Structures are given as structure tokens and as C-alpha cells.
Amino acid sequence: PMMVAGRLERRAGEEDRGAAAAALARRLGVPLLADPLSGARRGSTAIAHYDALLRKETFAADVLPDWVLRVGDLPTSKPLRRWLAALPDEVEQVALEPEGVWHDPDGVLARIAPGGELVEAGRTEVGWLRRWRDADEAAGFALDTELRRGLSEPLVANHLATTLPAEAVLVVASSMPVRDVEAFAPARDDPPRVLANRGANGIDGTVSTALGVAAVHDGPVVLLIGDVALVHDLGGLAALARSRRPLTIVLVDNGGGGIFDALPVAAATDAFEEHVATPTGVDFAAAAAMAGIAYLRVQAPQHLRPAFETTLLHVRTDRAETLALRRRCVAAVHAAIARPGADEASRRAGHEGWDPKTYLAFIRREGVPGYDRLQKEAVAATLGLAASSILELGTGTGETARRLLEAHPDASLLGLDANEDMLAAARERLDPARTALELRRLEDALPDGPFDLVASALAVHHLQAAGKADLFARVRAVLAPGGRFVLADVVVPEDERERSTPLSEFDFPSTVVQQLGWLEEAGFEATVTWRERDLAVLVGHVR
């Protein structure tokens, strides 16, 4: 069994239900995955780093509970939400909700237990809590090491959640502040109260909310907010001058909506900055002067503490660096919990450490369950084209190349791969008279065309969204008129439960729809010729 705690309401004078949830988890001896908004991220069974942990497929698949008790709202973390939604049907998920209100967008709750009903948890298996605790602790160490390198958005969230006293209230804005606090706040016995205006996750009115909290709360009140959200409530900033209670505003200014950098829309480079990221261009020192409040440019974490008068603490960060840091943090957590053996599958299916001798057997056995079928469908999608020159991206051991040469007896093939050992293996099995092989990464410039056919199997998903969009445009440029691009790869399945290919931190599959979009943008007429579970064959015809 396990417990999951999300945002819990608490009115003045009511008992602290977060603390009660943590006490229950301790009594049951079960892991408690608690969003800081629940107030339950405390005690010896609290798990703080579930967001990063559950991004690792092998870990997520390895720690399935037999029973879940949920209190409060759903936590914000997408990986946690997905994982809960995809738990097997026989895992009963129960919401404990004394107020008769619960949140279940995925329709996975089996039962709503009103307050007071005796909740019977199954027996706790020996070592079950320890597996979670060990992973959580390893994750915490790994993150500390990453975060110590310099002032950053995750460090700001971590520092505030670690150092604010129990009597403080931390108000967090929507977008990354609420997520950073969820991902980087440690479990501690006396956490400050964390409040957020979730609702529809608006970034508006947040300064006003914090102002209201400061008006009634006796202890320090700190607001953690992004630059776009702050600009959405400059009116609230102006109102601060009329409040006699101090509010400390920690502004994380990354020049726009940093949340969007991690989304596929970031690949739309022509419109992204102006229409999605929307940097505000506001001079925040001048905004503080307008509001009549103190202003300080933050250079080090120790500046981040409650001030005695209302103050704007301005932290400048860089969006691209922040995105890279977030990814390093997740990778560091995954490396820290990697267990030899358990992770062999994902490591070998990943980018590094491929051994060409065993790769094919491995991938047939457990790596990509539909491997043979995918190969067949990829070749089928190339038929009907009189190809004399073929470019293959990610030749690997040469399996696809062999099949392509067989299907196109008049063609010669140029194969690219970033791994020398793989190319050596491919060289051994392919006809040298019809094949040339080159060591190149997909990110590198493509060889000059024109080619009649560009084909790729199980390689392009190593590129992130922007990299894929960019590659598709470069492929289009080296194709001859009437040419074709055949892309056979792992994709994000329509239903998470359809995922059957083990992924590592070097795999970034996209959805079919996203990839069709990038193909169209690159000037292809794009179609799907085959798809099953998390594998698909996409074809781009030169328009």
C-alpha cells in the first residue's frame, strides 16, 4: 500500500490535515508521496522526489503498489498523475475525502471513503517502504550535488522550502514555481505552509493572493513567482504600498514563460518567442519603484529570506540553461537509482554502451517487442518507389539497410551512424559494392543529396522535439523531386498503457501527431502507413 497526498484545504482553527496524513502514513508504515501543497511532506515515510523518480520507466514499473490511499487534490506532477492513471485495474485506489469532494480526472478511483470510516490497508511487504525511501534518499543526494553548482530556479525553490521557518507561508505561483517546489522541496518535520491558487492554474492575481495571505498571517509570507505571472498582476504590486504587513516577493525572472521551453511547441522557432514565451520586457527595479517597495537583485541563495519590509527579490535566470539543468537533475536522479541488471534493458536500448554483437538478439528478445514487424512495415512503406540512391539515418547493425537493399535491388545505400562499433558490425554484413557507411550524428549536416529515399528505423527518437523538426527540414532538402522519407520509430502511444518499449534517459519519443506536423512544416505530405502500440511508420512524400 501507499499514500498520495495533494493540496489540502485548511481553514483557520482546523486541524492540520497534512500532518494527520503524514502521521497515518507513519502508523501504516507506507510510502507517502506528498505534494508540498498537502502539508504532508514530512515524517519518516514521506517521499519527496517522486516526480524525478517516476520519470524513470524501470523504476516506475518496479514499484507498483497493491493499494493506494489518496488524500486531498491530485498532486501537480505529471509523471505521478500518469503513473496513477496507468496502474493496473487490480490496484484499488481509494480517496479519503471527509468533505465529499475529490479530484479524479482519469476515473481511476474505486472507492470514496468518507472521513471516519476505518481504512483497511493491506499488509505491508517487508522492504517495500525501504525501496522507496532508499531511492528517495539517493535522489535527494543527487539533486543536492546538481543544485550546489550555482543559483538556479530549482535551487531557489529548494532553498526556500528548506530554510523558511515553520511559521512562514510560502505562496507559489502557477507555472514552474509550483512545480519546482514540488520537485525540489525536501521532506522536513516542520515545513512552512505552502499555498497556491490552483483552480484552473491561472497565472493571474497571484500577487494579490499573497497580499491577502500577508494581511492575515502573523508569520513571514514569501511569494515565489515568475516574471510573466508578476506582470499579470502589476496592479497587485501597486496595492502593496497600502498594506502594512510585509510581503517578500521572490521573482524568478527567466525572460518569459520558462514552462513552455520543455513543450513540443518550443520547436516552432519562428513564433515561439513572440507568441508563446512572451518575454515581458518590464524593468522590474522600476516596477518596484512604481509600487514603492524595496528592491534587491539576488546574487546568492542567502539573500533569499523573508524581509522586514515588503521587498522584491529579483533573481535573474536563463531559460535555456534552466531547461538543461532540469534535464541534468532528472538524469542525475536516474543515474543515482540505476541498479545494475534492472537497468540493463533501458541502458542497452539507449544511446550509450551498445554492443553490436548482442544488440540484435537483445532487441528482438526484450528491447522492442514489435521489432521484426516494424522492420517489415518500414520496408513496405518504401515500395513502389524506383530508388537508386538511399540514405539511411542510424544504420546500427545494418538490419534495416540489409532489408532495404533487398527490396531495392538497383539501389546503393549510404548509411550514417554515430557509433563506430555499430558501423563496424554493419560493414561485416552489408555488400560493400552497394553500401557506404559514415560516422555521423543525426545532428550533423546530412551528406549532399539528392537521394530518392531517406529511411530511418529506431534512431530519430534520440533527438528531442526541436532536433526532430530540424532534422525533417534537412531531410527534405536532400531528397530528389518525387522522393520519400520513411520514418519507423518509437512514438508516444495514444494510451500510456500501450507503452511496451523500454526507454532510457536518452530516448525522447514524440507523438505521431507532432511528427506529422513537423513533416508537414518541412514541406512533406505526411501520412502514417502503420502503427501499433508505441511503434509507427510515418511517410513523408516530397510535395
Residue ranges binding ligand TPP (CB under 6 A)? 174-176, 201-204, 226-229, 254, 257-259
Q: How far is the CB of 70 from ligand TPP (least distance, A)?
A: 25
Select 254 or 389, whichever has its Cβ closest to ligand TPP. 254
> Cβ of residue 190: shortest distance to ligand TPP, in angstroms?
27
Distance from C-alpha of 515 to C-alpha of 534, rounded to nearest angstrom: 14
Question: Nearest approach, Cβ of 192 to ligand TPP (angstroms)?
Answer: 20
Torsion over CA: 440, 444, 447, 451 (sign): positive
Closest CB 318 distance from ligand TPP, rounded Å = 11
| φ, ψ of residue 318 in degrees (nearest 5) | -115, 130
Q: Which is nearer to ligand TPP, 170 or 259 (CB)?
A: 259
| Cβ-count burial 486-516 (b if 16+ within 10 Å, e if not) | bbbbbbbbeeeeebebbbbbebbbbebebbb
Residue of 402, 434, 407, 437 lying closest to 419 (CA atoms): 437
CB of 7 to ligand TPP, least distance (A): 17
Interior angle at CA 150, CA 147 and CA 155, nearest 5: 45
Cβ at position 169, least distance to ligand TPP in Å: 20
Q: Considering beta carbons, is residue 201 or 527 the nearer one to ligand TPP?
A: 201
User: Residue 541 in contact with residue 524, Cβ under 8 Å?
Assistant: yes
- Order of all β-strands in the sheet with 111-113: 46-47, 32-34, 2-5, 67-71, 92-96, 111-113
Q: Of the two residues 57 and 153, which places its CB atom closer to ligand TPP in the complex? A: 153
The packing angle between helices 128-147 and 319-337, to 10°, is: 140
Q: Looking at beta carbons only, is 317 or 346 nearer to ligand TPP?
A: 317
User: Residue 234 Cβ, how far from ligand TPP at the closest point, in Å?
Assistant: 13
319 strand-pairing partners: none
* Closest approach of ligand TPP to the CB of residue 229, in Å: 3
Q: How far apart are CA 502 and CA 534, in angstroms?
A: 10
Judged by CB, which is closer to ligand TPP: 121, or 229?
A: 229
How far is residue 409's CA from residue 359's CA, in Å, rounded to a whole number? 27
Residue 275 or 543 with smaller CB distance to ligand TPP: 275
Do residues 390 and 376 touch, judged by C-beta distance below 8 A? no
Q: Return d(Cα 271, Cα 264) in angstroms, integer.
A: 13
The residue (of 78 and 497) whose beta carbon lies closer to ligand TPP is 78
Angle at 458 between CA 453 and CA 464, to 5 degrees: 100
CB of 35 to ligand TPP, least distance (A): 17
The secondary element (H helix, E strand) that includes residue 490 is strand 479-490
DSSP category for residue 109: -
Q: Name the residue number minimizing CB distance to ligand TPP.
A: 226
Quickly list DSSP for 377-404: HHHHTTTT---SEEEEE--TTSHHHHHH
Q: Which is nearer to ligand TPP, 76 or 254 (CB)?
A: 254
Distances (CA, A) of 389 to 28, 192, 381, 483: 66, 65, 16, 10
With respect to ligand TPP, which residue has the nearer C-beta, 19 or 203?
203
Whole-number minimum distance, CB 320 to ligand TPP, in Å? 12
